[in-house]
Structure 1
Amino acid sequence: MARVRQQRAEITRQAILDGAAIAFDAAGFGGTSLSEVVKHAGVTKGALYFHFQSKEALARTLVDEQFQISSGIPAIEEPGLQTVIDLTHQMASGLRVNVRVRAAIRLVIEFGSFTDPDPSPYNTWIDTCRGCLTPAQARGDVLPSLDVNDLSTFLVGSFTGIQVTSHVRTHREDLHTRITDLWDFLLPGIVPASRIPHFAPAGSPECRAELGLTSSG
């Protein structure tokens, strides 16, 4: 019985997170009420408060989930530049098909921009990029003259701006194409010319297969 109760509690918790994601994606943090979350989740307010003490706790949980996109990197034998390229396409895919990802990114931008800004999500993404680009530079895949931390900061800022612009202009329908453009323009400036053919700006074949991307993106 205890196991059944735990399973039901987890189902309820996930339903609440799904409902919160729908609400935050549509209206942002400030425009979302807990009543909206409850409506989308199909639970009672009592159930919501059992799992989450506040709207802030719900938002933080959704944001923290997005750090899991890089959780597999430690298992990669030789993370490098292609790892970062693939991560940008994985995040782009999540933004297009996963409401939790969209909600979390909207929350990150809201929390990290104006009122009481929180830089920690950006810093985490920068650290992830740096952890891949540092060994890439040691292998000769990134120009030795470049500061890897500055490059990582630039990449995170560029991706953020590109995805917002894509959202406004095309509801992110062209996001993979715009991310591919980013890498097409960037690689000649950060990679030795002889190494450029080793990298796939549109994502590695394995990444594209995993994401179900066609040749046209």
Structure 2
Amino acid sequence: MARARQERAEITRQAILDGAAVAFDRHGFGGASLSDVVKQAGVTKGALYFHFQSKEALARTLMDEQFQVSEDVPAIEEPGLQTVIDLSHRMAHGLRANVRIRAGIRLVIEFGSFTNPDPTPYDTWIDTTHGCLKPAQECGDIFPSLDVYDLATLLVGSFTGIQVTSHVRTGRDDLHTRVIDLWNFLLPGIVPAHRLPRFDPAGSPECRAELGLAAPDSPAMPVG
């Protein structure tokens, strides 16, 4: 009985997060109300307050979920520059296909902007990226003269701007193409010429297969 109650509680919790993601994705933190969340989730306000004490607690949980995209990085034996390239495509795919990631990123941008800015999610992504770039530099894949923490900061900022621009201009339909552009322009400036063939701006074959992305120079495949 206890296990059944726990399972029902978790189903309700996930339904609340799904409903909150839809509400925040459509209206933002300020525009979404708890009534919107309850309506989208199909639960009572009592159930909502049992799991989450406030709208901000809901938002924080969704903001944290974006990091699921990088949860496998610690298990990679030799993380490096291609790991970061693949992460950028995984995040792009998540933004296009997963409303919870999409809502989380919108909330990060809202919470990290001008009113009571919170840099924590950006710092987490910078640290994750830096953790991959540092061994890449140590093995000769990145110019030794570069500060890889500054490079990680640039990459996180660049991706943030690219995805916002893609959202505004095309509803993120061109996001993977714009990420490929980022790497095509950036890689020659950070990677020694003889090492460039080691990296695929469109993502590794394993990453493309996982995400259902078309191989370079082949017709585009639908995402999500």
| Interval containing the TM-score (normalised by the shorter chain) | over 0.9
User: Partner of 1:144 in structure 2?
Assistant: 144
Give 1:92 shift: 0.1
User: Partner of 1:105 in structure 2?
Assistant: 105
Q: Aligned AA for 1:85?
A: I
Give 1:67 shift: 1.6
User: Partner of 2:120 in structure 1?
Assistant: 120
Any stretches of 5+ residues in structure 1 without a counterpart?
Answer: none
Percent identical pairs in the alignment equals: 79
Q: Aligned AA for 1:131?
A: G
What is the aligned-residue RMSD (CA, Å)?
A: 0.6
Quick one: distance in 1 between partners of 2:6 and 2:207? Answer: 35
Aligned pairs (5 A) from 1:29-178: 29-178=29-178
User: Partner of 2:24 in structure 1?
Assistant: 24
Q: Aligned AA for 2:188?
A: P
Quick one: distance in 2 between partners of 1:73 and 1:89? Answer: 14
Quick one: distance in 2 between partners of 1:176 and 1:25? Answer: 20
Quick one: distance in 2 between partners of 1:197 and 1:27? Answer: 43
Quick one: distance in 2 between partners of 1:128 and 1:2? Answer: 38
Give 1:68 shift: 2.0
1:137-161 residue CA offsets vs partner (Å, 9 max, x unmatched): 0000000010001000000000000
Quick one: distance in 1 between partners of 2:118 and 2:67? Answer: 15
Kindly tell me the number of residue pairs found equivalent between the two proteins.
217
Give the stretch that moved more between structures: 175-184 or 60-69.
60-69
Quick one: distance in 1 between partners of 2:214 and 2:138? Answer: 33
User: Partner of 2:2 in structure 1?
Assistant: 2
Which of structure 1's runs of 4+ aligned residues deviate more than 6 A? none
Give 1:135 shift: 0.2
1:160-204 residue CA offsets vs partner (Å, 9 max, x unmatched): 000000000000000000000000000000000000000000000
